[in-house]
């Protein structure tokens, strides 16, 4: 007796893989519902295979280092170069070869929920994690690129054990003696860099959410300091906070138009 469509659906959800013969039998079943289930199964298997291939490929730079005996490879990335307010945050992460990289990707490609899940996995299983946070005052004094390098050096200095090689997202970090490689779009090509991007992004987002409690009118917990229309309107209305980067054009223009160099608001007025 043929299995019912609900029985076949439950079977497909429970089984890891079908044999070619089993799949062909479903694809040629005289019931449309069964054929649709088989086609859906095929699509899901193809998706899983593509993800396995992506995950495997993202170890290629680490494997090149490991093959040379460089077993401690640190991925480095940053979050927050573009915002008008808040710090730039860098992270450095050393992953073990046994790390479960399922789902690991450039932090910008992931939901907040997935970033949180991966952050916990990285913190639990990484050999070392370092974070560098550099504030707006430093950014204004030295420029955002130099501040980013400084944050990266801080993050690297926190790693124990010390890395033997560095994979960085698109940059070569000055004043670092460890061999390093800058990889364009590295957060989507290297698991170590992707892990660093997730730590940097989640750390900075949490920092901005805390800042929103002090400056609630600015919506820092929504736009994380980026120049959204809502943020620009609040900036024009209340002026810059101590967290704003005065060297960035939209903030500088508000200051120049007002004729005031410091913070323009009375703190109580924005609550």
Numbered residues of the known binding site: 77-78, 169
Q: The tokens of 266 are what? A: 């009375």
Q: Give Cα 184 to chain centroid, integer Å.
A: 15
Q: Per mean pLDDT, which range of 101-110, 157-166, 189-198 is the poorest?
A: 101-110
Secondary structure of the chain: what % helix, strand, coil (to 5)? 55, 10, 35
Check whether 234 has a pLDDT greater than 60.
yes
Q: What are the φ and ψ backbone dihedral angles of 244, each rounded to 5 degrees?
A: -80, 145
Numbered residues of the known binding site for a divalent metal cation: 77-78, 169
Question: How many Å apart are CA 105 and CA 111, to the nearest integer?
Answer: 11
Distance from the first to the final alpha carbon of the chain: 70
Are 132 and 151 in contact by the 8 Å Cβ rule? The answer is yes
178 — pLDDT class (breaks 50, 70, 90): very high
Highest mean pLDDT among 10-14, 201-205, 252-256, 264-268: 201-205
Mean pLDDT on 4-11: 92
Mean pLDDT on 95-123: 93
* C-alpha dihedral (11, 13, 17, 20), degrees to nearest 10: 60
* C-alpha dihedral (21, 22, 24, 26), degrees to nearest 10: 160
Q: How confident is the model over 58-90, as pLDDT tens digits?
A: 999 999 999 999 999 999 999 999 999 999 999
259 — pLDDT class (breaks 50, 70, 90): low
Vertex 112 angle, CA 89 and 183, to 5°: 50
Question: How many Å apart are CA 73 and CA 59, to the nearest integer?
Answer: 11
* C-alpha dihedral (212, 217, 222, 226), degrees to nearest 10: -90
Check whether 175 has a pLDDT greater than 50.
yes
CA distances (Å), 48 to each of 76, 131, 200, in order? 28, 33, 28
Which among 1, 75, 12 has a CA at the least distance from the CA of 42? 12
Check whether 271 has a pLDDT greater than 60.
no
What was the pLDDT predicted at 47? 87
């Amino acid at each position: 007796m043929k299995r019912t469509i609900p029985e076949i659906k439950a079977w497909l959800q429970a089984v890891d893989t079908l044999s070619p013969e089993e799949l062909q039998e479903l694809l040629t079943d005289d019931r449309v519902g069964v054929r649709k289930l088989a086609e859906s199964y095929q699509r899901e298997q193809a998706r899983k295979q593509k993800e396995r291939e992506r995950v495997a490929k993202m170890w290629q730079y680490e494997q090149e280092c490991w093959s040379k005996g460089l077993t401690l490879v640190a991925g480095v990335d940053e979050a927050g170069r573009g915002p008008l307010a808040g710090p730039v945050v860098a992270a450095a992460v050393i992953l073990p070869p046994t790390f479960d990289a399922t789902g690991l990707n450039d932090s910008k490609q992931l939901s907040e929920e997935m970033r949180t899940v991966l952050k916990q996995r990285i913190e639990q299983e990484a050999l070392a994690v370092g974070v560098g946070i550099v504030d707006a005052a430093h950014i204004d004094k030295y420029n955002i690129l130099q501040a980013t390098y400084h944050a990266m050096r801080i993050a690297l200095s926190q790693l124990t054990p010390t890395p033997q090689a560095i994979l960085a997202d698109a940059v070569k970090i000055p004043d670092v003696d460890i061999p390093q490689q800058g990889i364009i779009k590295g957060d989507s090509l290297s698991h170590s860099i992707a892990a660093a991007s997730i730590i940097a992004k989640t750390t900075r987002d949490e920092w901005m959410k805390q800042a929103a409690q002090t400056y609630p009118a600015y919506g820092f917990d929504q736009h994380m300091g980026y120049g959204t229309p809502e943020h620009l309107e609040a900036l024009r209305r209340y002026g810059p906070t101590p967290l704003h980067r005065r060297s960035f054009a939209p903030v500088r223009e508000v200051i120049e138009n007002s004729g005031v160099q410091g913070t323009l608001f009375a703190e109580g007025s924005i609550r």
